[in-house]
Structure 1
Amino acid sequence: MPKLISVLALTAAALATRPASSADAVTVLHCGHAIDTAAGKLLGETSIVVEGKRIREIRPGRIEVEGAGGFELKWATCLPGLIDSHTHLSGETSPTGYTDQFRWNIADYAIRSTGYAQRTLDAGFTTVRNLGDNQGETVALRNAINAGVIPGPRIFTAAQAIGSTGGHADGTDGYRKDLAGNPGPDEGIINGADDAWKAVRQHYKDGADLIKIMPSGGVLDESSSVDNAQMTLEEIKAVVAAAHDYGFTVAAHAHGAEAIRRAVIGGVDSIEHGTFMDDADMKLMKEHGTWYVPTIIAGKYVEEKAKVPGYYPAQIAAKAARVGPLIQATAGRAYKAGVKIAFGTDAAVYPHGQNAKEFQYMVEAGMPAMFVLQAATTHAAELLKKSKDLGTLDAGKYADVIAVNGNPLDDITLMQNVGFVMKEGVTYKYGGKTMTPVAEVAASPPTAQGEQLSGF
């Protein structure tokens, strides 16, 4: 409905000049529909009352609150802010990426990360797990966002990933010997249980929120294997024990079946990618309550780019061509087997801001639309151990609210066009237009005269 979106966009532009409101301001969101992600139900007309950073109440129908500002969203379905459980906000795919690393300083990656964070928030993702960076730059990004210096999603970062010499976490793979050096625990490279404890403790000192390990090979490093086991069970158990001492969860990048088995037995909280996961792995994951984060979009993107001459080095292109076609089918089998699934995309492997394509790929894999929305809300919040604050539209939770034009349960691709984004009571996008943050609107904006609101 272009007329309606146009009017809302113009209204948003005018409102963008308004100053941010006080912390205790009250705002009412008038939603045509809302999705109860806890109950798995589509609700009718719903009013969401926001006070400060949190939701004060949810009420059916349209209500007015004296003295409150409001947003007119009767064209939309409102949902909790989305959670991407697997991102890399300080990098992005590029055919020059393997040479840029020799020209760019860490400041170059850090500055670019601010743009990637904005695009992620614009796409409706108000929270992310960042599972790996270069030198801890996403810790600084998280802190700047939390301080209100720049806009972006709420970040829980693992900082540098932890792995073995020459493994997927070793950023010096492919370097000539005089440049490669011998990275150790301070850089996340471990060989043995003692190194594992040192690496985790260093992450705690550096301000990480969780731990990411690399127990298998991967696609985009310059080594030969995508699925071989690259950490011993002893090393994994040591990382997990140290992590739990410091209140960290542990995410495990694992493509190969043996690496998945070791990671699950070792006590990790989630398996990322899981390309070659077999039936025994799925059974083991169910027994241990281990989460699975499929990242189908990453597999599809690398498969596509592997066909472009020169986009990847030849060895990486060969691995991408092998892995890409398999991830979606694995995700479908895992769903049917009853493995716990949380939404995650491996953003940076594909361009930031396209995260919501994962919903479509999950549905194509055989998952119901409501399930995939829950994967990015209630499931992901549980994986983060943040269900008290995130994942549903409930009184007392953070006022993270998004809206799409229409019903995503009928057409999941609508999630790729989020028109409204609020995070902690501050509005960052309205009518499809990115805004200078405003937390309160004095009056509801007008709608286009005579414009039919589809489905509502």
Structure 2
Amino acid sequence: MCWALMWGTSTWASAAAAEPVDTGQGTTWAVHAERLIDVRDGSVQRDVVVAVRDGRIHALYAAGKVPADLAVRELGAVTLLPGLIDAHTHLTGDPKIGTWETLGRSEANDAITGVANALATVRAGFTTVRELGAYNHSSSALRDAIDRGEVPGPRIRSAGIWIGMRGGHCDTNLLAPQYAHYDAGIADGPWAVRAMVREMAKYGADLVKFCASGGVTTVGNEPGTQQYTTEEMDALVDEAHRLGMKVAAHAHGAEAIKTAIRAGVDSVEHASLIDEEGLRLAKQRGTWLVMDVYNGDYIEEVGSKEGWLAEILRKNRETTDVQREGFRRAVRLGVPLAFGTDAGIYPHGDNAIQFDYMVRFGMTPIQAIRSATLDAARLLGVDAETGSIEVGKAADLVAVAGDPLQDIALLRHPRFVVARGRIVRDELRTPSLPSPYVAPAQ
């Protein structure tokens, strides 16, 4: 049974105002919006009707040229955008769970957490995400459950388990030696790294994520320190690309960033300490930077109140401002930038807060929107499927009151969201679509 029917009248779904609506196969329905943003050229189209059939955009009409037999839902004075994309999430992660508490959580706990976070994410207007690492392939299992219609959530491109060196950022470093434990993605040496990439492919990962440097939110390593060697990175990227998988490199430090770019990674995550040579290299190679420029404020505010480890807070302070300056320089230089938040470090569903920061640190509103639509779709390799409102693409749509090109903060409050043709959020209170456009009663 699909989730649109199974959860349509449940107490929990009603309390969350979720109530996903499955519009049914073979039916055509439409929405009319005052404005529609064409993310390809940044233009704003007026009075556009978007027709949806079988989960895809069937046609685009000027308001006065709609077929007489087409049921059109009036959305009113809203702006319609493509479904948003977050290129760096951890849906099975929860910032409310403290550093030490993670040691007591099972992979089943993570999977259940992921279901709730997937719903929060898609209702926030993010209809596609790139999942960059989870325990025991839980995000891949979540992806499959969403694709089968068992639970609501965004389209997921999953990296399976993060790959990294023993004792590095991608390992578990909180336990004493007598309780020795290593994360499932730990591999040392070029051939072991190749084998681990093959393991990710075996268990259904869409791409590979590895740790090229130390990190902020783990202990015993520094963000500026390169972890994998040149030989290991070269082997990892070569193997992943040979298998048709893209590669994302977690890299804060300048040398780790440049080594990863030279190895041929498709994206660099965080890029906090990137230098001028790294920026030029990324532009020259067409390597995407995914810079989570909001995270630092969240960690400083919440981590300080909730007793996060002093080492984490120190490293966060050492990387936050310099990362934002690097982002500003990347925008000026024209380096490819895709929207990614590292949600899971901060609450899922709050992803759009980062738009404010991207504009504050150098982007125009349309650049920020494009980074989370067409540009992110290109990075993920799903631009033929989503990322813009075009005939033939999936019906991934977000409506916000007002004009986000004038006030980017409006993206924090979507009023109407469609994911692959299913209405997952509807707060506009305009007349509902007639039957069969609503889920039948149970």
* TM-score where L is the length of structure 2: 0.91
Show the counterpart of 1:449.
none
Q: What aligned pairs does 1:16-415 form with structure 2 within 5 A after superposition? A: 20-94=22-96, 96-171=97-172, 173-182=173-182, 187-308=184-305, 311-415=307-411
Q: Which string of whole-angstrom CA distances, capped at 9 and with x for unpartnered residues, describes residues 120-169 of structure 1?
A: 00110000000011111011100110011110000001011111111111
The answer to whether the 8 Å contact 2:33/2:79 transfers is: yes
Once the 2 structures are TM-superposed, how far is the Cα of residue 374 of structure 1 from its aligned partner? 0.4
Q: Which string of whole-angstrom CA distances, capped at 9 and with x for unpartnered residues, describes residues 180-223 of structure 1?
A: 2455xxx2112111011110000011111100010000001111
The answer to whether the 8 Å contact 2:21/2:423 transfers is: no
Write the distance in 2 (CA, Å) between the matches of 1:16 and 1:107.
Answer: 24
What is the identity percentage for the equivalent residue pairs of Structure 1 and Structure 2? 37
Once the 2 structures are TM-superposed, how far is the Cα of residue 17 of structure 1 from its aligned partner? 8.2
Q: What amino acid does structure 1 have at the position aligned with 2:91?
A: L
Secondary structure of the corresponding residue to residue 418 of structure 2? strand
Once the 2 structures are TM-superposed, how far is the Cα of residue 327 of structure 1 from its aligned partner? 2.2
Secondary structure of the corresponding residue to residue 79 of structure 2? strand
The answer to whether the 8 Å contact 2:18/2:425 transfers is: no
TM-aligned CA distance change 1:296 to 1:362, over 3 Å: same
Q: What amino acid does structure 1 have at the position aligned with 2:289?
A: Y
The answer to whether the 8 Å contact 2:30/2:50 transfers is: yes
The answer to whether the 8 Å contact 1:70/1:441 transfers is: no
Write the distance in 1 (CA, Å) between the matches of 2:240 and 2:124.
Answer: 32
Once the 2 structures are TM-superposed, how far is the Cα of residue 294 of structure 1 from its aligned partner? 0.8
Once the 2 structures are TM-superposed, how far is the Cα of residue 395 of structure 1 from its aligned partner? 0.4
Unaligned residue ranges in structure 1 (runs of 5+):
1-12, 446-456
Q: Which string of whole-angstrom CA distances, capped at 9 and with x for unpartnered residues, describes residues 357-396 of structure 1?
A: 1110000001000010000011001101111111110001
TM-aligned CA distance change 1:19 to 1:202, over 3 Å: closer
TM-aligned CA distance change 1:256 to 1:44, over 3 Å: same
Q: What amino acid does structure 1 have at the position aligned with 2:324?
A: Q
TM-aligned CA distance change 1:33 to 1:18, over 3 Å: closer
Once the 2 structures are TM-superposed, how far is the Cα of residue 301 of structure 1 from its aligned partner? 1.4
Once the 2 structures are TM-superposed, how far is the Cα of residue 441 of structure 1 from its aligned partner? 4.0
Q: What amino acid does structure 2 have at the position aligned with 1:83?
A: I
Q: What amino acid does structure 2 have at the position aligned with 1:31?
A: A
Once the 2 structures are TM-superposed, how far is the Cα of residue 297 of structure 1 from its aligned partner? 1.6
Q: Which string of whole-angstrom CA distances, capped at 9 and with x for unpartnered residues, describes residues 260-313 of structure 1?
A: 0000000000011111001000001111110011111222212323433x5211
The answer to whether the 8 Å contact 1:302/1:321 transfers is: no
Write the distance in 2 (CA, Å) between the matches of 1:311 and 1:177.
Answer: 25
Secondary structure of the corresponding residue to residue 373 of structure 2? helix
Q: What amino acid does structure 2 have at the position aligned with 1:260?
A: I
Paired positions, count: 422
TM-aligned CA distance change 1:350 to 1:181, over 3 Å: closer
Show the counterpart of 1:448.
none
The answer to whether the 8 Å contact 1:211/1:251 transfers is: yes
TM-aligned CA distance change 1:62 to 1:156, over 3 Å: farther
Secondary structure of the corresponding residue to residue 79 of structure 1? strand
